[in-house]
Structure 1
Amino acid sequence: MSYSSESDLVGVAGNPYVALQKISGSERGSLTDAVEQALKEAIVTLVLEPGMMIDKMAVCDRMGVSRFPVSAALARLAHAGLVEVLPQRGTRVKPIALDDIRQHLFIRSALEVETVRGVALMHDRATIDALAENLEQQRKLAGNGQRLAFHTLDLAFHEILLDAVNLPRVKEIVAVSRNALDRARQLLASPERLVHTLDEHELVFDAIRAGKADVAAKAMHEHLDQVVAELHRSAKERPDLFAS
């Protein structure tokens, strides 16, 4: 389940649960999966903001499900570090912790820097063409501030690189860290930041296309490093979204 456009988020400030869609299905497992995916996307895209208490009954009513799949989905999201249970209060969206962000970025940097180094040495035409097509779509969106659509392309850009080296375990580890970072990435998704992200992707791509492995690795390292610096600025502007 996903939000097709920025307009899907209109009006959620007063009632964020309107962004959730009714689901169908009869098996508990499939319902739990669907609720988990919907809530995860709402959390990652900041429809459900860090620190917000989650109204289980509102989720049940909006999605047309019983309490069981909602509770099961929230338990999974707690394990993933996106929500937390507060004794005698309920479940809330977990505030963003800068210490956690730094650790996940360290993991991503270590793995993705070496990934682009390897891709640059491969000279694989299909990978280069896929990256070029992805960047062409990014250019169309970056200047228009379409952050959700751009975010999807951003994820796809990194997926292309990881798929190229064909190391499933590495891709799985990166995915875990990326999921933990997605909310923070949304905080940075100003029109200006989208343009900067595109520029950074272009530098990575140019180095890969030229077969310059060290240059590509450096460009990816600097691209990921920008997140920490900008998050510190965001924490000063919106301290309510971050864990102290």
Structure 2
Amino acid sequence: MKPPASPYSFLTPSTVLTRGNVTTEVTTALRHAIVSLALPPGSSIDKSLVCERLGVSRFPVSEALSRLQAEGLVDIAPQRGSTVSLVRIADVREYMLIRKGLESEALRVFIGRDDPALIEALHANMAAQRKAAEGDDAAAFHEIDLEFHDIIYRAMEFTKIKGIIDSARANLDRARWLIVTPRRLALTIAEHQAIFDGILAGSKEQAIAAIRAHIDAVMVELFAFAREHPKLFADGASLGNDSDSFPFG
């Protein structure tokens, strides 16, 4: 008789685990499952089954969950165990405001510099976005989308800014997965192309307007989704129908 499939089959056991990196490997695996919504908001996490699936003891799983709690991805309650935290739209809003300001300044800093490598990297990225969208590969598109913005950050050559973005990225990425549709992929490509067109034209005003419009468009969809599915959000019930919940423009 064939044994039943693990409910955590989306977790991939590592082929090489050393004593020093077991907790890191488990944390990475669980974080990816949460961000990609394989472990959806509000779902409980069975530590025993995670241990069995990943082939590890309870200690690294417990440590991993503590790390993810610090990142705002997991809630741990005494006697009740661990659950995937609900997305807080207020946190997403703050992070997107930070992004809007930082990416606008990044464009202001490097547009006008002669940087063929940057232009080549963005050209290649745009081609990769279209290929992933044509293949309906949302996971690949997500990673390429992140890289598009990372190319812009790296052009600033300010390492601390990249760290600020990365430290808050997990919850935003999780929220963005909620609105992944073929339509959103197509809109994202068009919005990215508008940013790139501004860069190619050497127009700071055009590129900055495009990056701000892109972030606004994503937030409009996130607010609409949160209002339609409030139970996925810790603060979903508090969202009104006002159109000024996010500083647009």
Identify whether the pair has TM-score above 0.5, normalized to the shorter chain.
yes
The answer as to whether partners of 1:203 and 1:216 remain within 8 angstroms in 2 is: yes
TM-superposed deviation, 1:16? 4.6
Is residue 2:105 matched to residue 1:114? yes
TM-superposed deviation, 1:179? 2.2
Helix, strand or coil at the partner of 1:205: helix
Helix, strand or coil at the partner of 1:197: helix
CA distance in 2 between partners of 1:15 and 1:102 (Å)? 36
Q: Please identify, of 174-183 and 148-157, the stretch whose mean Cα deviation from structure 2 is larger.
A: 174-183
Where do residues 19-168 of structure 1 align in structure 2 (5 Å cutoff)? 19-23=10-14, 24-27=16-19, 29-168=20-159
**In the comparison of the two structures, how many residue pairs are matched?**
230
Which one-letter code corresponds to 2:21 in the other structure? S
Change (3 A) 1:16 1:220: farther
CA distance in 2 between partners of 1:96 and 1:15 (Å)? 26
CA distance in 1 between partners of 2:136 and 2:77 (Å)? 36
Is residue 2:174 matched to residue 1:174? no
User: If the length of structure 1 is used for normalisation, what is the TM-score?
Assistant: 0.90
Change (3 A) 1:36 1:207: same
C-alpha root-mean-square deviation of aligned residues, in Å? 1.4
CA offset digits 1:36-81 (Å, max 9, x no partner): 0000000000000000111111110000000111011111111111
Q: Which runs of 5+ in 2 are unaligned?
A: 236-249
The answer as to whether partners of 2:132 and 2:141 remain within 8 angstroms in 1 is: yes
Change (3 A) 1:16 1:154: farther
The answer as to whether partners of 1:95 and 1:242 remain within 8 angstroms in 2 is: yes
Specify the alignment match of 1:188 in structure 2.
179
CA distance in 2 between partners of 1:204 and 1:67 (Å)? 47
CA distance in 1 between partners of 2:90 and 2:53 (Å)? 34
Q: Which runs of 5+ in 1 are unaligned?
A: 1-13
Is residue 2:233 matched to residue 1:233? no
The answer as to whether partners of 2:87 and 2:171 remain within 8 angstroms in 1 is: no
Q: Please identify, of 118-127 and 42-51, the stretch whose mean Cα deviation from structure 2 is larger.
A: 118-127
TM-superposed deviation, 1:15? 5.6
The answer as to whether partners of 1:108 and 1:177 remain within 8 angstroms in 2 is: no
Specify the alignment match of 2:209 in structure 1.
218
Change (3 A) 1:214 1:16: farther
Change (3 A) 1:160 1:67: same
TM-superposed deviation, 1:212? 0.4
CA distance in 2 between partners of 1:117 and 1:179 (Å)? 26
Helix, strand or coil at the partner of 1:150: helix
Which structure has the highest helix share of the two?
1
CA distance in 2 between partners of 1:36 and 1:238 (Å)? 28
CA distance in 1 between partners of 2:170 and 2:24 (Å)? 16
The answer as to whether partners of 2:6 and 2:53 remain within 8 angstroms in 1 is: no
CA distance in 1 between partners of 2:18 and 2:163 (Å)? 30
Q: 1:17 aligns with which of 8, 12, 31?
A: 8
TM-superposed deviation, 1:121? 2.6
CA distance in 1 between partners of 2:224 and 2:7 (Å)? 26
TM-superposed deviation, 1:156? 0.8
